[in-house]
């Protein structure tokens, strides 16, 4: 019997998850926009991407399935607690302190689960905002090269973009030989402008 009940609960949870992953029961556009705002701030449209939208939809679906999970907890909580209390009253050899301790711990867990499954709007906003900040911190930590300060370029030195996309210092002679034609054209342009003409 216990194994059958456990298997039935697993099958039910799978069906609930499949129900909410169905496109017909996808979160509305307003729900997604609100979730994106909580996760990424007021300027969420600047960094919006397919991955960000998928994350927002997944968070909303998990909250929906979490409410059904609390319902299962509730249906288990009532009969089991009643059984514990009745057993404790019938059997005088059971330590009352231990029974009370178990019931108290389970009440705390039950209330915490209820607040997690059915939070107020303010609690939900705070929770999702904190999750978004943690997510952005982790992404920045995984990309430390973007946070490194750029090296200052030396004065009087010439640089060019190398094959790897980084700046590399080059010899003055190479730069001068490459820029000779450009310098000649610049001198012609300056002389032409002094004569009152424009750029030809």
Give the model's pLDDT for residue 195.
55
Q: Which residues are CB-neighbours of 31 under 8 A, at least 6 positions away?
A: 60
Specify the length of the chain in residues: 200
- Check residues 133 and 198 and name the one with the higher pLDDT: 133
Residue 184 tokens read as: 């000649």
Task: In whole angstroms, give the CA distance from residue 6 to residue 124.
Answer: 31
Q: How many CB atoms lie within 10 A of CB 19?
A: 14
Q: How far is C-alpha 73 from the geometric centre of its chain's CA atoms? A: 28
pLDDT at 129 > cutoff 90 = yes
Domain ranges of the chain: 2-146, 158-194
- Condensed to tens digits (0 to 9), the pLDDT of residues 157-174 reads 555 556 665 656 666 544
Residue 169: what are its φ and ψ, rounded to 5°?
Answer: -75, 140
């Amino acid at each position: 019997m216990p194994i059958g009940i456990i298997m039935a609960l697993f099958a039910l949870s799978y069906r609930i998850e499949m129900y909410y992953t169905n496109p017909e029961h996808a979160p509305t556009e307003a729900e997604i926009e609100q979730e994106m705002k909580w996760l990424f701030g007021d300027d969420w449209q600047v960094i919006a991407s397919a991955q960000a939208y998928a994350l927002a939809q997944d968070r909303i679906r998990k909250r929906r399935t979490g409410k059904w999970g609390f319902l299962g907890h509730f249906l288990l909580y009532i009969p089991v607690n009643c059984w514990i209390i009745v057993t404790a009253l019938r059997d005088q050899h059971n330590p009352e302190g231990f029974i009370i301790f178990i019931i108290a711990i389970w009440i705390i867990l039950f209330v915490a689960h209820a607040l997690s499954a059915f939070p107020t709007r303010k609690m939900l906003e705070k929770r999702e905002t904190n999750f978004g900040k943690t997510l952005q911190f982790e992404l920045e930590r995984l990309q430390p090269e973007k946070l490194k300060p750029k090296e200052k370029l030396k004065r009087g030195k010439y640089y060019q973009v190398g094959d790897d996309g980084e700046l590399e210092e080059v010899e003055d002679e190479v730069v001068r030989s490459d820029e000779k034609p450009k310098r000649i054209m610049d001198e012609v342009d300056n002389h032409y402008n002094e004569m009152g003409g424009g750029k030809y």
